[in-house]
Amino acid sequence: MRQYFLKKEGSESLLLFFGGWGSGPELFSDCVIMPGHDCMLCYDYRTPDFDCSLLDNYRNIYLLAWSMGVWVADRILSGDGMESARGRLVRCVAVGGTLAPIDDTMGIPVPVFKGTLEGMSAPVLAKFRRRMCGKDLGYFMEHLPDRGPDELKDELASLYAQVTENPGKYGTRYASAEESPMALPAEKRRIHWNIAVVGGNDLIFPASNQLEAWKDSADRILQTDSAHYDRALFERLLKGV
C-alpha cells in the first residue's frame, strides 16, 4: 500500500482517505481539503502493508473510504495494534463500497469481478472507466493516475486474493451466515461507520447491493444520484461539506 499526503501542514487533525482500486494522487489533485486537516491518501492495494506511525501525531482522524477502499480501511483499522488510531476516529464515511466487496448481494457480483480480472485488457479497462465515471469521464482521463495496466491488474488480483482468502471474517465464502461481517452486531465490530453514501447511478457496486449491505451497519445511509466516481461529490467530501 502507498500512503501519500495530499496536504501536510502540521495540523492536529487528519483526513485519512482510502481510495478505490486504481486510485492515485492525480485524481484528487484539484480538490480543496477541509480546513484544519492534513490529508493522507492510501492507495495501491497490491500489498496490505500500512505504516500506522504516520497517524501518531494526530489527535483526531476523519476516515473517508471509497469503493474497495472501504473494505481495506475496515480491515486495516480493525487490526490488532490499531487501538490508538481507532480511539481517535471522529467520523467514518463510506462511499460506493461495502464490507463484502465481492458478493452477489452486498458488493460487486462475483462473476462480474472475476470477469473483469480475468479479461483485463485495454478495452476492458476503458469500458470499466466509462461505467465508473459517467459524465465525469473526461475529467477522470485528464487526471488519470500514473499507473500502468499491468500494475492495475496485479492490484485487482491482490484484492481478490485478500478478500476471498479471509473467509468468515472479511471474504465472501462464509462458514455460516452469522460469520459475515454484515451479520455482526454493531457493538462487536471495531469500526463504527457513521455514514454510507450510495450512488443511484453506480454501475460498479450496484446501489441495491450497497443498500442491502449497509441497512443495519451504518448510522445513516445517504442516497445520491452519483455514479461510482463523481467529481463534485468527492470535492464536497474532501472539503468537509
Residue 175's pLDDT is 38
Whether the predicted pLDDT of 67 surpasses 50: yes
Asked if pLDDT for residue 81 goes beyond 50, the answer is yes
Q: How confident is the model at residue 149 (pLDDT cuts 50, 70, 90)?
A: confident
Measured in whole angstroms, the distance separating CA 91 from the mean position of its chain's CA atoms is 15
Q: Which CATH architecture has domain 2-239?
A: 3-Layer(aba) Sandwich (3.40)
Measure the CA–CA gap between 182 and 98, rounded to whole angstroms.
Answer: 9
**Given pLDDT bands bounded at 50, 70 and 90, which one contains residue 215?**
very high
More confident site: 103 or 170: 103
pLDDT tens-digit series, residues 36-59: 999 999 999 998 899 999 999 999
pTM for the predicted model, two decimal places: 0.89
Average of per-residue pLDDT values in the chain: 89
**pLDDT tens-digit readout, 130-146:** 999 999 999 999 999 99
| HEC assignment per residue over the chain | CEEEEEECCCCCEEEEEECCCCCCHHHHCCCCCCCCEEEEEEECCCCCCCCHHHHCCCCEEEEEEECHHHHHHHHHHCCCCCHHHHHCEEEEEEECCCCCCECCCCCECHHHHHHHHHCCCHHHHHHHHHHHHHHHHHHHHHCCCCCCHHHHHHHHHHHHHHHHCCCCCCCCCCCCHHHCHHHCCHHHCCCCEEEEEEECCCCCCCHHHHHHHHCCCEEEEEEECCCCCCHHHHHHHHHCC
How high is the pLDDT of residue 48? 86
What's the average model confidence in pLDDT over 198-217? Answer: 96
pLDDT at 185 over 90: no
Percent of the chain with pLDDT over 70: 90
- Average pLDDT rounded to a whole number, residues 207-216: 96
Q: How does strand 60-66 pair with strand 89-95?
A: parallel
Task: Please give the pLDDT value at position 202.
Answer: 98
On the question of pLDDT at 5 being above 70, the answer is yes
pLDDT, average across residues 68-86 = 92
Q: What distances in angstroms separate CA 88 from CA 51, 91, 238, one per listed residue?
A: 16, 9, 19
When pLDDT is cut at 50, 70 and 90, the band that residue 189 belongs to is low
At 167 the pLDDT is 43
Q: Where are the domains of the chain?
A: 2-239
Among the listed ranges 163-167, 194-198, 235-239, which one has the minimum average pLDDT value? 163-167
Q: How confident is the model at residue 226 (pLDDT cuts 50, 70, 90)?
A: very high
Q: Would you say residue 164 has pLDDT above 90?
A: no
